């Protein structure tokens, strides 16, 4: 059985501009991480960068969905309730081969 822990990342109600700042910051950090991974793989001539490229596309799509929701709330003068947790699981060791 894998060990896991859940950590609350975001909990609360936010004005649209606050939600935008929080959520876009997280998404942009993840895009930057994946971009650095692509660069690292390509610089070392390793295969495997494709999964990071695919993840960037997914994150960009997520960013558009978040933007649409935030813009809808702005137009209606509503606030957003955001609940976000991270689940961290222990997995078997990576092989070094």
**What mean pLDDT is reported for the chain?**
93
> How many Cβ atoms sit within 10 Å of the Cβ of residue 1?
4
Render pLDDT for 53-95 as a digit per residue (tens, 0 to 9): 999 999 999 999 999 999 999 999 999 999 999 999 988 887 6
Average pLDDT score over residue span 39-51: 93
Tell me the pLDDT band of 97, cut-offs 50, 70 and 90: low
Q: Whole-angstrom distance between the N-terminal and C-terminal Cα of the chain?
A: 25
Domain boundaries, the chain: 4-89
């Amino acid at each position: 059985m894998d060990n896991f822990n859940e950590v609350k990342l975001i909990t609360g109600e936010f004005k649209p501009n606050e939600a935008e700042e929080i959520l876009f910051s997280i998404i942009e950090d993840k895009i930057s991480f994946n971009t650095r991974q692509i660069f690292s793989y390509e610089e070392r001539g390793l295969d495997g960068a494709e999964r990071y490229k695919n993840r960037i596309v997914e994150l960009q799509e997520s960013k558009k969905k978040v933007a649409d929701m935030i813009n809808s709330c702005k137009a209606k003068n509503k606030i957003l309730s955001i609940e976000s947790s991270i689940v961290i699981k222990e997995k078997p060791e990576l092989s070094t081969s």
